[in-house]
Amino acid sequence: MPQLAKRMGRAKPSAIMVVAEKAKQLKAEGRDIISFSIGVPNFLPGDHVYAAAREALEHDSGQYGSNRGSNELLDAFLKHIEQVGLTGYTRANCATGIGAKHVLYNLCEALLDEGDGFAFATPYWTSYVDIGEILDADIQLLPCPAEQDYKLTPAQLDAALAKKPKVFLFNNPSNPTGMVYTRDEISALADVLVKHPETWVITDDIYNRMVFDGIGYHNFVHARPELRERVVFMDSLSKTYGMPGWRAGFMVGPEVVAKAVTTMNSNHITNIPEIVTAAAVAALSGPQDVPNAKRAEFQAKRDQVVAALNAIPGVVCPVPQGAFYAFPDISVAFGTSHDGKTIANDVDLCNALLEAKGVACVPGSAFGEPRGLRISYTCPTPQLAPGLQRIQEFFAELK
């Protein structure tokens, strides 16, 4: 029998989806499950988005679209990013894709050859390692533990870039930690980036509208405009607008990179579907009341989650200021047991928590930080307090 390509030996299914599927199975068996696992916003976009999709359906051309994205969509995206201070770009600087994950994969295909250095901080979004391994890149992890609030320091970045990685991937606000870099922190990192002109910079900042406490979103290009020749900014409909299933992602950056991603699209997808394009334009250009309301709701949930977690003796949860995740250090539980089952690591803890209390979380090792776990607090509000109480009860029962 013929063999699969070698790269398939490096490809792995999403660790997050493994947890989600297990929780779904237990729920189907009649268990009372509260899921803090999968990172979906759990709200729907405004009515104007559906109206635009219906209108497009009624007037569907049935034709192929642009590999880059329609002019209307590109213009809507450019106006959208101007609101966070990313100005001076044109359509030629943009490209679209079937969700931000697709855009990121295309970017990595376009920028990385086999063996090229691919640097990013730990904890990381699971797909970063997955994509890097499929492409056989030289993955260079930069550990950022809870003791430094899961944030990369300028000294760490300087040491990493001295090794001349081809791509430095930055995530702000962070999935899985929810941490957000301040203006001063971004400025300090940008000063380091200027010193290392050999490295492309991708900013995976799809949660840029989900920032709390008035600290605002900041980008390297804001701090050092000369970096726009090397910085690629990524965005998405999924989190901001409650549209993960619609699959529309975006990038803006140097023309040569946007052209490369467009070329990749011509071989992969041809174009974003016409109906999705119409919905995306409406989301980006229309009323912003739904995402604004959800940002306030998530900030209130954040406060509730952090208070509950930090009330558990020995658990440390740095305060996230964006996205909808908390990432507590739960290593205090290692070496204990629950109901006779040993808790040796984060996976043991998450399995025991799901079995004993019906609460699904993702082990931190899926994100490169085995001392933690990720809590996505987008569940229905009535489930949040009971879920947190179950976690507190679980830790209180450890022996």
Place of tokens 């997955």: 130
Angstrom distances, CA of residue 237 to CA of 31, 195, 265: 33, 33, 18
Query: 42-80 burial, b if ≥16 CB within 10 A, otherwise e?
Result: beebbeebeebbeebeeeeeeeebbbbbbeebbbbbbeb
325 neighbors 175 (Cβ within 8 angstroms): yes
Per DSSP bridges, beta strands 362-363 and 373-376 are antiparallel
315 neighbors 390 (Cβ within 8 angstroms): no
Residue 57: CA atoms inside 13 Å, Cβ hemisphere, count? 8
Provide the residue count of the chain: 399
| Rounded Cα distance, 31 and 40, in Å | 21
| Rounded Cα distance, 271 and 262, in Å | 9
323 neighbors 204 (Cβ within 8 angstroms): no
Residues whose CB is less than 8 angstroms from the CB of residue 375 and which lie 6 or more positions away in sequence, other chains included = 36, 305, 309, 325, 326, 327, 328, 361
pTM of the model: 0.94
State how far Cα 28 lies from the chain centre: 28
Torsion (CA) 303, 306, 309, 311 in degrees, nearest 10: -70
> Which sign, positive or negative, has the C-alpha torsion 252, 276, 131, 376?
positive
Query: 40: exposed, middle or buried (C-beta count within 10 Å: 0-12, 13-18, 19+)?
Result: middle
In this structure, what are the phi and psi dihedrals at residue 151, rounded to the nearest 5 degrees? -115, 145
| pLDDT tens track, the chain, 399 positions | 898 888 887 776 666 667 777 778 877 888 888 999 888 899 999 999 999 999 999 999 889 999 999 999 999 999 999 999 999 999 999 999 999 999 999 999 999 999 999 999 999 999 999 999 999 999 999 999 999 999 999 999 999 999 999 999 999 999 999 999 999 999 999 999 999 999 999 999 999 999 999 999 999 999 999 999 999 999 999 999 999 999 999 999 999 999 999 999 999 999 999 999 999 999 999 999 999 999 999 999 999 999 999 999 999 999 999 999 999 999 999 999 999 999 999 999 999 999 999 999 999 999 999 999 999 999 999 999 999 999 999 999 999
Residue among 65, 31, 128 nearest 269 (CA):
65
